Amino acid sequence: MGKFSKFLIGRLKGCGYAIKGALLLLKTEPSIQVQAVIAIIMTAFGFYIGITNTEWMLQIFAIGLVMSIEGVNTTAEAIADFIHPDFHDKIGFIKDVAAGAVFIAATIAVIIGCIIYIPYLL
């Protein structure tokens, strides 16, 4: 088997692991389940309103940003809990910062949504 074939097989396996991780996140994390429902609602609303291609790009970016950061937050919390299951100030700090990153991404997503949809609603 050549180098390219090994490289390609490795990338395909990596994609499989990534899909598995995304599905695990969607199956096990209530916060991302809520975000997925919001994403579906906003996507349907985008079709209903008829947003532009640029607005679609911004909306999809915002949805992807929030859901990706939520995955990183979940990972940080799981690692922190694994390393130190009991309460610890530094673990609390790590979890708070990770949650803060989700809050920032979600706030930006709401702002993007307002910029897109408020003119259509007025």
pTM: predicted TM-score of the whole model, two decimal places: 0.85
pLDDT at 7 (0 to 100): 85
Task: Map 65-91 to HEC letters.
Answer: HHHHHHHHHHHHHHHHHHHCCCCCHHH
Q: Give residue 5's pLDDT.
A: 80
Per-residue pLDDT 10s for the chain (122 aa) are 678 788 888 888 899 999 999 999 999 999 999 999 999 999 999 999 999 999 999 999 999 999 999 999 999 999 999 998 888 899 999 999 999 999 999 999 999 999 999 999 99
